[in-house]
Structure formats: structure tokens, C-alpha cells
Amino acid sequence: MLQAVINAFKIPDLRRKILFTLAMLVIFRFIASVPLPNVDRAGLQDYVADNQLL
């Protein structure tokens, strides 16, 4: 399995796509932890709990 990862990073196009995906995950996790001002957390939780799509 480790050899497959090493081989994936040897291909420039695949390496670029993997690094881009990892960067987007890191950015998403960072932005998700930033609190938003003037947001009613209880109201937002109720909305998400009541909505089947979210």
C-alpha cells in the first residue's frame, strides 16, 4: 500500500490533484472552525435538525 502512495506521487498530474484535494480539506476544516458573528446557534441547530436535506 505504501508503494502505491509513493507511485502516485511520482506522477506529476496525480500528485498535483492529490495535493490540491488535501489543501481543500485543510482549508474547509479551518473555515468550519471559525465562528460567525451574529449567528443564532440554537436557531441554526433547530433548522438543521428539522430539515431532512441538511
What is the structure's pLDDT at 35? Answer: 84
Cell reading at 36? 460567525
What is the structure's pLDDT at 28? Answer: 95
Residue 1, SS3 per DSSP: coil
Domain ranges of the chain: 2-50
Q: 6: which residues sit within 8 A by CB, 6+ positions away?
A: none
Cell reading at 4? 502505491
In this structure, the dihedral spanned by the alpha carbons of residues 35, 43, 40 and 33, taken in order and rounded to 10 degrees, is 0
The pTM for the full model equals 0.63
Tens digits of pLDDT across the chain (54 residues):
899 989 999 999 999 999 999 999 999 999 988 888 888 889 988 988 988 775
What is the structure's pLDDT at 25? Answer: 97
Fill in the amino acid letter for 35: P
What is the structure's pLDDT at 54? Answer: 56
What is the structure's pLDDT at 22? Answer: 97
